[in-house]
Copies of this chain bind each other. A is one copy, B any other.
């Protein structure tokens, strides 16, 4: 089955470009690792916040280094910036380079004499002019964001002796795009079927946890709500049992995202429950997808890439086909000042 609205050649080429940033990022991080930093601060909002999320979760498995994921909008109005100091390594990202909260937050850091590192599409964006040693990533696929963010944080942990297998992992990531292309192809018929079945539902619930919570949050909020005007509820697998479960019956579709980290048993608990109480269940289990050439111990790191490939990218393309609502169309977001 051909992938709807998907340019394979362009995808692989952009993936190669993103991977090509590895040496530049490693050089930057190796330099920063030699400073007397005390913590790491990641500035994101909306989609970028959600994309940094799993990187922080993964880092916790390997390190006790304090890593703070800050919502850039909240950071701006917080009176006490607490742990954001001259001894913080601050990273951010905005492909467009003009996300208002990110640009303002980086300006604020600079006023505090704190350099900010990170990513934007090229040297013409407002963010490019504010970043120290900016890394340019022209393409916006979420899996490339994950790849680049992991290069940053896992390389930092490598420098601390906490992720000694960094080189093996990073070498294996050369083949990640081919894996994610094959996974897309495997998922495509299911994407078509799910979108046809559920895209007109008035309300859809999503559950996820741990390393995959960011992607659960991102897909519901930034894709279905923002780009499709589809109403959703996302809730963590743990909290599902403290309220949202009561809504579940055959009128409510529940999309269960299952990961491979320590929280998996909570995802499984949700799956068992919803399978008994609604006919409308879809389970997205990263374990169903092989990652050729990737060691098992690195699979958890890659699980957000799998979910972003099948949901945020492929399922979105098929929702668009069924709703007739262009993924490009917005009525408010970035259309005027608010």
Task: Mark A residues whose CB is within 8 Å of B.
Answer: 45-47, 49, 60-61, 64, 71, 73-74, 77-80, 82, 101, 202-203, 209-210, 220-222, 225-227, 229, 231-233, 235-239, 241-248, 262-263, 265-266, 269, 272-273, 277, 330-333, 338
Closest chain-B Cβ to A338's Cβ sits at a distance in Å of 5
Please determine whether B235 and A221 come into contact, CB atoms closer than 8 angstroms.
Answer: yes
In this complex, the member of A221, A241, A246, A330 whose beta carbon has the largest number of chain B beta carbons within 10 angstroms is A246
Contact of A47 among B203, B242, B262, B272 (CB under 8 A): B242
Q: Is the Cβ of B265 less than 8 Å from the Cβ of A77? A: yes
A330 to B245, CA, bound (A): 10
The 7 closest A-B pairs by CB, nearest first: A46-B242, A73-B238, A221-B243, A226-B243, A225-B243, A226-B246, A222-B243
Residues of B close to A78: CB separation below 8 A: 262
Name the one of B61, B220, B241, B332 contacting A277, with C-beta atoms under 8 angstroms.
B332
Whether A71 contacts B246 by the Cβ 8 Å rule is no
A-B contacts, 30 of them at CB < 8 A, read A45-B238, A46-B239, A60-B80, A61-B80, A73-B241, A74-B263, A74-B266, A77-B265, A78-B262, A203-B231, A221-B242, A221-B243, A221-B244, A222-B243, A225-B244, A226-B242, A226-B244, A226-B246, A229-B246, A229-B247, A232-B233, A241-B338, A242-B333, A245-B332, A245-B333, A246-B330, A246-B333, A248-B332, A273-B338, A277-B332
**A265 CA to B79 CA, complexed, in Å:** 13
**Chain B residues within 8 Å of A64, by CB:** 82
CB-based contact A101/B243 at 8 Å: no
Q: A74, A277, A330 — which one has the most chain B CB atoms within 10 A of its CB?
A: A74
Complex contacts, A46 vs chain B, CB 8 Å: 239, 241-243
* Chain B contacts for A237, CB-based, 8 A: 73
Min CB distance A310 to B, Å, is 20
* Complex contact B222–A71 (CB within 8 A): no
CB distance from A15 to the nearest CB of B (A): 26
Contact between A266 and B61, CB atoms less than 8 A apart: no
A61 surroundings in chain B (CB, below 8 A): 79-80
**Residues of chain B within 8 A of A74, CB atoms compared:** 209-210, 236, 238, 263, 266
Q: Which residues of B contact A209 (CB under 8 A)?
A: 74
- Taking the nearest CB of chain B, how far is it from the CB of A219, in angstroms? 10
> Which of these, B45, B80, B221, B239, contacts A45 with CB under 8 Å?
B239
Contact in complex: B338, A242 (CB < 8 Å):
no
**19 further contact pairs, Cβ within 8 A, besides A74-B238, A77-B262, A246-B331:** A46-B243, A60-B82, A73-B237, A73-B238, A202-B203, A221-B243, A222-B242, A222-B243, A225-B244, A226-B244, A226-B245, A227-B246, A231-B233, A233-B233, A245-B333, A245-B338, A246-B333, A269-B338, A273-B332
